[in-house]
Amino acid sequence: MKKLQKTLLSRKSSQDSNSSKKESRSNSNSSNAAPPAPPPNTTKPLPTPGGSGSSNHLNPSNHIVPSQSPSQSPSSSHRSSSPVTTGTTTPDRRSAADTGSPTPPIVVVSSETPSEAPNRVGHFNGTAERHSGVDHSNAIPPRATTLNRLRAGPKDTIPIVGKPPRKQRSSRFVVTEKVEIERLPPFMETPPNERPQLFLKKLHQCRVLFDFNDASAELKGKQIKAQTLHEMLEYITTQRGVITENIYPEVVNMFATNLFRSIPPPVNPIGDAFDPEEDEPVLELAWPHLQIVYEFFLRFVESPDFNTNMAKRFIDQPFVLNLLELFDSEDPRERDFLKTTLHRIYGKFLNLRAFIRRSINNVFFRFIYETERHNGIAELLEILGSIINGFALPLKEEHKTFLTRVLIPLHKVKSLSLYHPQLAYCVVQFLEKDPSLAEEVMLGLLKYWPKVNSPKEVMFLNEVEEVLDVTDPVEFQKIQVPLFQQLARCINSQHFQVAERALLYWNNEYVVNLMSDNLAVILPIVFPALYTNSKSHWNRTIHGMVYNALKLFMEINPDLFDEAMQQYKQRKIEEQQHAVQRYEAWQRMREKAIQNAPGGKLPAGYVEIPHAPPPPPSNIDDADILSLSMELNAASIDDVTGDLDEHGIERVPMADPGLDRPLPEIGGDHSPTGSGLHSRRKSVLPVDPSVLRDLQAHRSLDDGPGMHSNHEGS
């Protein structure tokens, strides 16, 4: 009580005169030597946001206002401290005001945990406001610094999880709120007059979506929906006359609700593209329901009762655009169903054909010139392959433009291996329709020919051979010079697979016939490459294939072959003479520069790099050419095969020496041909047995009729 009376007297004297105010301040400073009063209980849980919104945030404006009357001070201090110190009484607050002097508060940055920061801020605000009740003229409000704002601000609660990507996940469905669906009676147990209404109820019931991220959640509802979808699938397959006018909007709405969703970003957005030979795809967790929905819609469209005129109002252009968005799904099973679904729509709805082709072109343009990433390019090209097969003759300019501006530029994308077979099929289909397009196609391929990507170069060589198989002899003469110039560069390639694939052209009977008809033009182009690699190439398999090509040319026209050898000899002599002339010209220029320099000396700091003079021009050793001719005359085409050398030993490609080291066993052979010296996985992702099992269980719809049906007049 004495201490309380002393506090009241000091407050009264501070209001009378400035001298008593200074004396009271000295007394309060002397009292600070004693241990301070215990702070408010900060171990209590934080108040709710609604109750602490005015106390947990620093508000500098509350401390800049001029001094308040004494009657306002207790209420303001009570509001500021009540959220944190709810258990203290009024005398305790006065005692705390006495122990805490009106000196400016000090902000101490401590190493406490972040969870204690809001309590400290609340206590600090309350203390500051209590001090402001004593004397606002000397109390300094706390600064609204960045540190104080950070203490009072919301805390980051985003968890950091370093888990590897899952091999199965669910797309971003807008999951409906929990709705308890009840099992409806089967169709066979319902009177025929009530079945149409039951069909509508089942369609409406199947619009409920479930979250498949939690496999154990809502099992009963998932089972009821799957059974209902199976019942409807069987109902429209076995019954006739069940597709009435009021069914169309419900079916389309159910299909759109279940399937049209945002496709999540790829698992590996910035790394290497998905490699089907090395990586397993990411499967859709909701596939048990999606598969039945796809099958139901396909049976619905293929039903004899399906009326295209009634369905036009609901299967329209926005529907097609949403369907095309799903082609970017990472699940190959869904893309397979989408391919069949879009093809059925293209065949049924004549009014949508041009729009579907334009929309697919837009997908290709975005893929070529913007993203270079899309999972459904192969499926879209497969659809276009069947569409091109049904084009009417003569081809429209629109279709020719599609070939030159869409299909040919698709060759320049770095992920060509994912869709090259389908792309080559589309190009060949165009040439079978109109052989006059061969020149444009071949020049386009040569334009985008890869320079350093050897596997991609092998794919180009495969496609060029397919193009040559359908090229007329007249069109071949227009492209033979640039084509065989590129083939000569491929034969000179140090990558043995590129050289080997180019030399395999000499095993194609039709291509050999085209060569023999134009041998006078082709032989001078390819002979230098063949002669150089007959002995100098590092791979012995290439030696045998080069001998076969030279032997074939010599048997077709021996005189022309000898002439080509002499031309090659003369060209080598001219190259050496040109090198000597160039060296002598540089020497004359150097001597003239020295003569024109001041003092006849080269400038200071000039460092001359001496170059050895080229050898003088000499005749090419005729013994080498004669030896080659004798070997070709003595050998048969079948004597030197690509598998055995001259000693009868199997030829093994000489790759890098690291391949000789034994590699660990990996479960199964992942090479595309099933053969090879080693089996090595480039991917570091683990093998998921469930993914492989689900993919093997998937039944493709390509086996069914109608996928390759013609669309005359498209």
516-539: pLDDT as tens digits: 999 999 999 999 999 989 888 888
Q: Residue 687 falls within a domain, yes or no?
A: no
Split into its structural domains, the chain has a count of 2
Say if residue 312's pLDDT is above 80.
Answer: yes
pTM, whole model, 2 decimals?
A: 0.64
Boundary of a domain, candidates 130, 152, 174:
152
Average pLDDT over residues 561-575: 88
Lowest mean pLDDT among 62-66, 323-327, 465-469, 541-545: 62-66
pLDDT at 90 over 70: no
Confirm whether 470 is domain-assigned: no
Minimum mean pLDDT range among 20-24, 359-363, 452-456, 482-486: 20-24
Query: Tokens 């010079």 label which residue?
Result: 481
> What gap in Å lies between CA 15 and CA 7, rounded to an integer?
13
HEC states along 501-558? Answer: HHHHHHHCHHHHHHHHHCHHHHHHHHHHHHHHHCCCCCCHHHHHHHHHHHHHHHHHCH
List, in order, residues 6 or more apart from 127 with CB less than 8 Å away. 96, 100, 105
For residue 48, count CB atoms less than 10 angstroms from its CB and return exposed for 0-12, middle for 13-18, buried for 19 or more: exposed
Q: What's the confidence (pLDDT) of residue 29?
A: 46
Of the three residues 136, 152, 168, the one that is the final residue of a domain is 152
Q: Under DSSP, is residue 262 helix (H, G, I), strand (E, B) or coil?
A: strand
**Residue 148 falls inside a structural domain:** yes
Is 301 contained in some domain? no
Q: What's the pLDDT band for 574 if we cut at 50, 70, 90?
A: confident
- Tell me, rounded to whole angstroms, the distance of Cα 456 from its chain centroid: 19
- The DSSP-derived string for 604-673 is TT------PPPPPP----HHHHHHHHHHHHHS-TTTS-SSB-TTSPBP-----GGGGS-----SS--STT
Secondary structure of residue 316 in the 3-state scheme: coil
The answer to the question of residue 329 being in a domain is no
Helix axes 353-366, 332-348, angle to 10 degrees: 140
Q: What is the mean pLDDT of residues 231-246?
A: 90
d(Cα 625, Cα 285) in Å, to the nearest integer? 68
Cα 66 to Cα 25, 72, 77, 97, 477, distances in angstroms: 21, 12, 16, 20, 98
The answer to whether the beta carbons of residues 324 and 360 sit under 8 Å apart is yes
Task: Name the token pair of 627.
Answer: 């030896």
Q: Which domain holds residue 517?
A: 487-536+540-595+615-652
Tens of pLDDT along 38-88? 444 444 444 444 444 444 444 434 444 444 444 444 444 444 344 333 444
The CB density around residue 311, as the number of other CB atoms within 10 Å, is: 21
Report how far residue 689's alpha carbon sits from residue 187's, in angstroms, rounded to the nearest whole number.
Answer: 38
Q: Return the percentage of the chain with pLDDT > 90, whole number.
A: 39
How far apart (Å, rounded) are the C-alpha atoms in residues 490 and 486?
6
651 phi-psi bin (left φ>0, alpha ψ -120 to 50, beta other): beta
Tokens 């007297």, residue located: 9
The secondary structure element, H or E, covering residue 496 is: helix 496-503
CA distance 457 to 490: 9
Q: What is the mean pLDDT of residues 673-701?
A: 50
pLDDT bucket at 330, cuts 50 / 70 / 90: confident
Query: What DSSP designation does 303 have?
Result: S
If one compares 592 and 708, the residue with the highest pLDDT of the two is 592
pLDDT value at residue 155:
53
Domain-located, residue 568: yes
Q: Which of 292, 295, 290, 303 is nearest to 248 (CA)?
A: 303
The b/e string for 152-171 (b: 16+ C-beta within 10 A; e otherwise) is beeeeeeeeeeeeeebbbbb
Bond preceding residue 394 cis, omega within 30 of 0 = yes
Q: What is the pLDDT of residue 662?
A: 47
Please give the structure tokens belonging to residue 464. Answer: 């060029």
Q: Is residue 492 part of a domain?
A: yes
pLDDT classification of 370: cutoffs 50, 70, 90: very high
Domain boundary among 632, 652, 672: 652
Continuous segment of H or E residues that includes residue 267: none
Q: What is the pLDDT of residue 534?
A: 87
Confirm whether 319 is domain-assigned. Answer: no
Distances (CA, A) of 269 to 201, 274, 371, 427, 518: 42, 10, 11, 30, 49
